[in-house]
Amino acid sequence: MIEPVCGPDHILCAWGLTREFGGVQALRGVDLHVVRGTITGLIGPNGSGKTTLFQVISGMDRGATGTISFDRESILGWRPSEIYRRGLARTFQLSRVFPELTVLENLVVAGHRRDRGAAERALGLLERVHLREYAAVLGKNLSYGQQKLVEFLRVLMSDPALILLDEPAAGVNPTLRKTLWDMVRHLNGLGTTFLVIEHNMEVIADLCSDVYVLSDGEIIAQGDFASIRNNERVLEAYFGKSRKHGAA
Amino acid sequence: MELLEPDILLQLLIGGLLAGMLYALLACGLNLVFGVMRVINLAHAELMLVGAFGAYVLFTIFGLHPLVSLLLIVPVLFIAGYYLQSVLIERVVERPMLTSLLATYGLSIILINVGLLLFSADFKSVPVLQGSFLIGELTVSKPRVTAGVISLLLTVGVYLFLERSHLGKAIRAVSEHAQVAAICGIDVRKIRMLTFGMAAAMAGAAGVMLSVIYSFWPGSGIDFIQKCFAIIIIGGMGNFLGALYGGILLGVVEAFVGGFASTQWAEAVAYLLLVTVLLIRPTGLKGVARA
Amino acid sequence: MPEKLSQKLLRVLRSFPAALSSSAGKPGAAIPGGPFGGTNVRRTFVKNLRLTLTRLTAARDVFETASEGNPRSIGLWVGAVLVTFVLLAPLGINDYHQSFLLQVFMVIALAQAWNLISGMTGYVSFGHAAFFGVGAYAGALFLTWGFPWWLAVIKGAGIAALLAVPLGFLTLRLRGPYFAIAMLGLNEVGRVVATLWVDVTRGGTGLTLSPKLLPSLDVKYFTMFALALGATLLVAWVHRSRFGLELRAIREDEEAAEMVGVNTTLNKVIAFVLSAVIPGAVGAVYVMYTSYINPASAFEHARNIEMIVVVLFGGSGTVWGPIIGAGTVMILRELLWAQFPAAHLAALGVLLLVVVLYLPGGLISILRDRQQKRPDARPGESP
């Protein structure tokens, strides 16, 4: 697989990321480069290692080997809070809003320590998604969709340069989903780069300029959506090999 | 150094093995409860003392030989444990482990202090078995042999029960995966009550054996629960055989430390082991301390 | 509606200091309390009063700047009244009652310290009395080595803090129940070390302090009160601060907190060390109060139990919870079983069970629920 060399255009570069869990290779030498200012997609069948990749990049999983550089700085081995402070944020597949903290507190804690205006910014963000009146509500009393939205807002508090979105719209009703993707587009227009794990191909086709396909721990294809969807290896990964004789 | 005489070493070894068998009986019960319910029963050692004081009372009032008391105390504690589970433990099973830890902590405090109110802080014992066997050049204390052997038999008995019997398999199924076991038609709640009853019975038996070899007071439990923790964390949480081997190992280590240093150092072994393993190697040797 | 009530209350309470200071110039006039013989006593009393009022005003200012709503103001004024009572009490009560209050302060201080690491950060410790024991022995030793009592207290606290740093890094890697058990083990390790390190601690015999070295009961009373007040103010400050927010986030979901930029390790260790310094100081003062220390009393299990139950009963993670819990437990102890420590502890065990099963939020949660009229917290919450 020929990969472009990591250049000044790339905000995130990963080389040869390998992660093994007691005999099972979750990631096998993954190479991935995200161009600054894009919305890059990461797709692949279930169990292919997408979330593991996010765990490794965001610092939650420190057991991988290889190289990761973010904004020209190597971040492999950094703790997650340092990586976040550096400008790389990440959301979770299942909502991890702090249940006993209010929505406002959920947001403020993610902001910079010395930021006096954190509360204002938080309220502003809530205003954008019409959740202003929920500022004093405890996290656990929100609906699931609202939680995911708040979680999304949370990572915006530190003004990250790159955001890893792990299935942000899963389990969310269509209206909230639209709000979410509109925000993503808007922020992207302002310069934020996104790396998105999604299963919804329409969204990928619509939003992403570049797509990586991960299967069984390896990157098997990369390019724009049109070229991906006709790629034989990709089809094989999703639908299995066709056999000449007998069922698969 | 005369301590290195093979006779003395053998003596220490045997003493350690016998003590270890008692520890194993106790630790296996605690481990069983943890394995099946993910509950750490901080009151386990106090249940043991219930057995010990029971033997004491039956001896002083009715003159019952502790081995006879054993036959009474084991079933009584089984029933008590069975119902204790349904009254108290069931309520905290589904909750975070910390909640059940606090609840059993409360229970242990109640038991210790009720014990103090009933029996005061004086040391008690049941000095029925006296003397020693002479095997070749070795003197082995009779009460220790009795206690050790019976403890071992009971522990192995429970193990065989878990391995071979239908009910035992059900118990193991629940400890592996309670939800799946429930789907397979196992009454998980009943199994839990049964398990706790068994653990309480094992603790009670250990208590009766304890009364024969050591003197004890209501506060003795604290030392023993620490030993159990040390054993379980080293042997692997939820691992029955691990607790068995761990218990025996602890007994032997304590015996040797006691022989070469002092009894006070021997008492410290369990604490030091526990703290060292937890702090330096949080994953234990096979355990889930950081799960 | 609630606002009007509290504003009324505030007006009434605000008038008090004014009334007191106006009559302060007239010794003996309109001042409640026991008989004060002699002008000297009256002058000291007046001086104390002025001091109290200055302190109160200062304290009020500190709180008001951060104060948000009415419950806080009421709490503040209740606190002010209590503080006044405490400061004036030694003049009117006998030694026995003063000792009782001293013990109440001790329990409050320990409870707030435990509250910091266990209630607010979520790392429930079953062996925090270990730091008390360390402080007690360190304080006793420094005292016998010739240091003035207050320096011995500071050094005692310092040793406890010093130990807390490496221990914190090691123990805080463990999750919930295992942390609890490790701390339980550490308490016992402390006891064992005190027993075995005979050269320094005299082992089981214990250390006896000669009365010449010890400060007076009044001094100890005020010092213990200062510790209780300090601990409470610390918890109150943390509660409102960014640090406290981060601690609570750690308590809720440590991984997620790390993911949004909270340096969980540093925060936890700081909380842990703060929660060790206070028991260290308290232990040192305590040993000067009892003038004797041995491993069993220094690392007494009952102290652990009290720390835990008092806070959980009152309401863990809150500022007033430990105070309410401590007050209630100590009063009950005094009334019911001052003569039977075992009964007291058994009652604590029952209380713990009740709280864990039925009232995980403690007494304070009852007040909160009534105030906010929101649905009860899920019973599945761990303290």
Side-chain-facing half-sphere of C230: CA atoms under 13 Å: 15
Distance CA A194, CA A178 (A): 17
**DSSP 8-state class, residue B220:** G
pLDDT score of B159: 93
Task: Please give the backbone phi and psi of residue A10, each rounded to the nearest 5 degrees, phi first.
Answer: -95, 130
State the number of CA atoms in the 13 A half-sphere of C6 facing the CB.
13
Residue (of B78, B106, B115, B114) closest to B216 by Cα position: B115
pTM (two decimals): 0.84
pLDDT in tens, A61-110: 888 899 999 988 899 889 999 999 999 999 988 889 999 899 999 999 99
Q: Is residue A18 part of a domain?
A: yes
Which residue in B98, B113, B265 is closest to C177 by CB distance?
A: B98
* CA distances for C334 relative to B132, C339, C353, angstroms: 51, 9, 21
Nearest Cα of chain B lies from the Cα of C102 at a distance, in angstroms, of: 25
The helix (run of H) or strand (run of E) holding residue A165 is strand A162-166
Positive or negative: CA dihedral B109, B115, B117, B120: negative
Q: Chain A residues with CB inside 8 Å of C252's CB?
A: 98-101
Q: How far apart are CA B88 and CA C124, in angstroms?
A: 21
Q: How confident is the model at residue C375 (pLDDT cuts 50, 70, 90)?
A: very low
C174 and chain B in contact, CB less than 8 A: yes
Is residue C179 within 8 A of residue C125, CB to CB? The reply is: yes
Q: Contact at 8 Å (CB) between A102 and A139? A: yes
How far is A73 from A70, CA to CA, in rounded Å?
5
> What integer pLDDT is reported at residue A164 of this predicted model?
95
- The pLDDT of residue B216 is 93
Cα distance between residue C267 and residue C346, in whole Å = 35
Contact B275 C184 (CB under 8 A): no
Contact indicator for C60, C76 with CB cutoff of 8 Å: yes
Check CB contact of C251 with chain B, cutoff 8 Å. Answer: no
pLDDT at site A2: 47
Say which CATH number the domain at A130 has.
3.40.50.300
Tokens of C356: 């864990």
Half-sphere exposure of B283 (CA within 13 A, CB side): 2
Q: Which residue, among C74, C66, C54, C92, has the nearest Cα to C8 in the 3D structure?
A: C74
With a cut of 90, say whether residue B1 has pLDDT above it.
no
Contacts of C263 in chain A (CB under 8 A): 79, 81-82
Burial of B63 (0-12, 13-18, 19+ CB in 10 A): exposed
Does residue A54 lie within any of the structural domains? yes
Q: Is the pLDDT at C320 greater than 60, yes or no?
A: yes
How is residue A2 annotated by DSSP? Answer: -
For residues C16-41, give the mean pLDDT.
40
* pLDDT tens figures, C66-119: 444 556 677 788 888 888 888 877 777 788 888 889 999 999 999 999 999 999
Tell me the CA distances in angstroms from C324 to B101, C197, C274, one per residue in order: 24, 39, 22
- Selecting from C188, C195, C382 the residue whose C-beta is nearest the C-beta of B99 gives C382
Question: Structure tokens of A242?
Answer: 């066709």
Identify the DSSP state of B139.
E
The residue of chain C nearest to residue A116, with distances taken between CA atoms, is C242
d(C-alpha B282, C-alpha B280), whole Å: 6
Q: How far is CA A64 from the centre of its chain?
A: 18
Complex-level ipTM: 0.87
Which residues of chain C lie closer than 8 angstroms to A158, CB-CB?
260-261
Q: Which chains touch B (3 or more CB pairs under 8 A)?
A: C
> Do B24 and B152 contact (CB within 8 A), yes or no?
yes
Cβ within 8 Å, pair A154-C253: no
Q: What are the pLDDT digits (tens) for B228-247?
A: 998 988 888 888 898 999 99
Residue A180 belongs to what domain range? 10-238
Tokens at A111, concatenated: 């902001």
> What residue in C sits closest to A90 (Cα-Cα)?
C259
Average pLDDT, chain C: 80
Using the predicted structure, report yes or no on whether residue A25 has a pLDDT greater than 60: yes
CB count in 10 Å sphere of residue A122: 27
Facing residue for A80 by CB, picked from C242, C246, C258: C258
Q: Which residue has the higher pLDDT, A62 or A243?
A: A62
Alpha-carbon distances of A1 from B199, C111, C159, rounded to whole Å: 59, 62, 60
Give C338's DSSP letter: S
Range with lowest mean pLDDT among A6-15, A188-197, C25-34: C25-34
What residues of chain A lie within 8 A of the CB of C242, using their CB?
113
DSSP state at residue C89: G
Is there a contact between C245 and A108 (Cβ–Cβ < 8 Å)?
yes
Residue C365 confidence (pLDDT): 80
CB A68 within 8 A of CB A17: yes
Closest Cβ opposite residue B107 in set C189, C345, C349: C349
Nearest to C249 among A79, A84, A109 (CB): A109
On chain A, the residues whose CB falls within 8 A of the CB of C66 are none
- What is the residue-averaged pLDDT of chain A? 87
Q: What is the 3-state secondary structure (H, E, C) of C11-32?
A: HHHHHHHHHHHHHHCCCCCCCC
Are A220 and A213 in contact by the 8 Å Cβ rule? The answer is yes
A145 Cβ contact partners less than 8 Å away, ≥ 6 residues apart? A171, A172, A173, A176
Contact C346, B114 (CB under 8 A): yes
Best C260, C262, C267, C381 member to test A by mutation, with max A CBs in 10 Å, is C260
Position B58 pLDDT exceeds 50:
yes
Chains B and C touch (3+ CB pairs under 8 A): yes
CB–CB of C349 and B289 under 8 A?
no
Q: What are phi and psi of C76, to 5 degrees?
A: -60, -45
Q: How many domains is chain A built from? A: 1
Helix, strand or coil, per DSSP, at residue A117: coil
Tokens standing for A45?
Answer: 């069948």
**DSSP state, B40?**
-
Q: How far is CA C348 from the centre of its chain?
A: 18
Taking residues C28-55, report their average pLDDT: 47
What crossing angle do the helices spanning B142-164 and B6-37 adopt, rounded to 10°?
Answer: 40
Q: Which two tokens stand for residue A211?
A: 């797509």
Q: Tell me which residue of C178, C185, C219 sits closest to C90, measured CA to CA.
A: C219
- Tell if the CB–CB gap between C248 and A98 is shorter than 8 Å: yes
What residues contact C230, with CB distance under 8 A and at least 6 apart? C109, C278
Nearest CB to C261; choose among A81, A99, A141: A81
Closest CA of chain C from A160, distance in Å: 11
Is B102 within 8 Å of C383 (Cβ atoms)? yes
Q: Which of B36-40, B145-149, C203-207, C292-296 has the lowest mean pLDDT?
A: C203-207
The answer on pLDDT for B116 being more than 90 is: yes
Interchain proximity C262–A100, CB inside 8 Å = no
Whether the CB of C348 is below 8 Å from some CB of chain B: the reply is yes
In tens, the pLDDT along C118-145 reads 999 999 999 999 999 999 999 999 999 9
Q: Up-side HSE of residue B195: CA atoms within 13 Å toward CB?
A: 32
Residue whose tokens read 């925000």: A183
Task: Tell me the C-alpha distance between B116 and C377, whole Å.
Answer: 37
The alpha-carbon gap from C377 to the nearest alpha carbon of chain A, in Å, equals 10
Sort out which chain C residues have CB atoms less than 8 A from A82's CB and list them: 263
Q: Which residue does chain A place closest to C258, by CA atoms?
A: A81
The rounded percent of chain A whose pLDDT value lies above 90 is: 41
Determine which of C125, C174, C175, C181 to mutate to test the interface with B (most B C-beta atoms within 10 Å).
C181
In a domain, A187, yes or no: yes
Which residue of B lies nearest to C308 if distances are taken between CA atoms? B102
* Residues 6+ away with beta carbon under 8 Å from B218: B49, B53, B111, B112, B113, B115, B116, B119, B121
Tokens of A198: 């999604």
C349–B113: do the CB atoms touch at under 8 Å? Answer: yes
- Residue B11's pLDDT band, with cuts at 50, 70 and 90, is confident
Shortest alpha-carbon distance between residue C357 and chain B (Å): 7
Contacts of A55 in chain C (CB under 8 A): none
Residues 6+ apart with CB under 8 A from C272: C117, C121, C123, C164, C167, C168, C171, C172
Q: In Å, what is the CA distance from A13 to each residue of A9, A91, A184?
A: 10, 19, 22
The rounded percent of chain C whose pLDDT value lies above 70 is 77
Report the pLDDT value the prediction gives residue C176, as an integer from 0 to 100: 82
State residue C178's pLDDT score.
87
Which of C:45-84 have CB within 8 Å of B? none
- Chain A nearest C-alpha distance from C246 (Å): 6
Query: Which residue(s) pair with A10 in the sheet?
Result: A35
Its sign, for the CA torsion A158, A55, A186, A145, is negative
Helix (H) or strand (E) holding C344: helix C341-358
Q: Is C28 on the interface with B (CB under 8 A)?
A: no
SS3 (DSSP) at C280: helix
pLDDT of residue C374: 37
Give the total residue count for chain A.
248
Minimal CA–CA distance to C187: which of C91, C320, C276? C276
Place of tokens 């934020």: A192
Angle subtended by helix axes B221-235 and B97-119, to nearest 10? 150
pLDDT of residue C65: 46
- Whether pLDDT at A174 is above 80: yes
A165 Cα to chain C: minimum distance (Å): 13
How confident is the model at residue C199, as a pLDDT?
A: 83
Angle between helices B188-213 and B66-84 (to 10 degrees): 150
Q: CA-to-CA distance for B245 and B286, rounded, in angstroms?
A: 13
CB atoms B275 and C189 under 8 Å: yes
Alpha carbon C96 to its chain's center: 21
Residue C186 identity (one-letter amino acid): L
User: What residue ranges do the domains of chain C occupy?
Assistant: 97-302
CA-nearest residue to C317 within chain A is A100
Structure-token pair, residue A186: 């808007």
Which of B31, B41, B98, B263 to probe by mutation at the C interface, max C CB count within 10 Å?
A: B98
Q: What gap in Å lies between CA C52 and CA C80, rounded to an integer?
A: 9
Residue ranges of the domains in chain B? Answer: 2-280
Of A28-37, B12-21, B131-140, B210-219, the range with the lowest mean pLDDT is B131-140
**Residue numbers in B near C312 (CB within 8 A):** 102
Task: Give the pLDDT score at C43.
Answer: 52
The rounded percent of chain B whose pLDDT value lies above 90 is 51
Please name which of C356, C276, C349 lies closest in space to residue C312, comparing C-alpha atoms: C356
User: Which CATH number fits the domain B2-280, given the four candidates 1.20.140, 1.10.10, 1.10.3470, 3.40.50?
Assistant: 1.10.3470
For residue C249, the chain A residues in CB contact (below 8 A) are: 98, 101, 109
The answer to whether C170 contacts chain B (CB < 8 Å) is yes
Cβ contacts of A58 on chain C, cutoff 8 Å = 259
Interface of C with A (CB under 8 A): 242, 245-246, 248-249, 251-253, 255-265, 374, 378, 381
Single-letter code of the amino acid located at C229:
L
Q: Given a contact as 3+ CB pairs under 8 Å, which chains touch C?
A: A, B
CA C182 vs CA A145, C40, C100, C118, C363: distances in Å: 40, 55, 32, 14, 28
CA-based nearest residue in chain A for residue C250: A98
Which residues are A219's β-sheet partners? A214
- Among all residues of chain B, which has the CA nearest to that of C344? B113
The confidence band for A242, taking pLDDT boundaries of 50, 70 and 90, is low
Contact of C182 with C174, CB cutoff 8 Å:
yes
Q: Does C336 touch chain B (CB under 8 A)?
A: no
pLDDT digit string, tens, across residues C167-205: 999 999 888 888 998 899 899 999 989 988 888 888 888
pLDDT above 60 (res C383) = no
